[in-house]
Amino acid sequence: MTGTISAIETWLTAFGWPVYGADDVPHDAALPYITYTAKEPEYDRKTSVQIQLWAYTKANADLLAKADAICAAIGTGVRIPCAGGLVVLWPDTPQQQVLVNGNVRRVLIMAQLNAYHCPGV
């Protein structure tokens, strides 16, 4: 599982915002940032991944532009190398959803994940 999580986190970091596991956001983290949830699927199955972009803003344009960049990178499936194998992210439906809580807005990106490697490697 470490390889899967590291691969997803490294890939998301390339989009220029700090990246945290959904349950590991520091209490003093400054917006904007990205969170994700991921599970290790069985080798022959997909599992869901939630990527959330968080920003303090009154407008959606910049937030949606960042979400669109991530969704474009996922495309019809993106292969991400990991220790001992490969992680593949696939788009899910609905792929994006904007959620508003005052001036804190987030975009929820839904994806599916396959992990092709030997667990523990």
Domain definitions of the chain by residue range: 2-117
Copy the structure tokens of residue 98.
């904007």
CA–CA gap between residue 88 and residue 11 (Å, rounded): 11
pLDDT, tens digit, 9 for 90 and up, residues 74-87: 999 999 988 778 88
The pairing of beta strand 78-82 with beta strand 19-21: unpaired
Reported confidence tier of residue 35, pLDDT bands at 50, 70, 90 = very high
pLDDT for the residue 2: 64
- pTM of the full predicted structure? 0.88
CA–CA gap between residue 85 and residue 108 (Å, rounded): 27
Q: In CATH, what is the architecture of 2-117?
A: 2-Layer Sandwich (3.30)
Dihedrals φ, ψ of 68, to 5°?
A: -60, -40
pLDDT, tens digit, 9 for 90 and up, residues 42-82: 767 788 999 999 999 888 889 999 999 999 999 999 999 88
106 burial (CB, 10 Å; 0-12 / 13-18 / 19+) is buried
CA–CA gap between residue 104 and residue 71 (Å, rounded): 21
Residue 119 reports pLDDT greater than 80: no
Alpha helices in the chain (DSSP H): 2-13, 61-74
Q: What is the mean pLDDT of residues 15-37?
A: 95
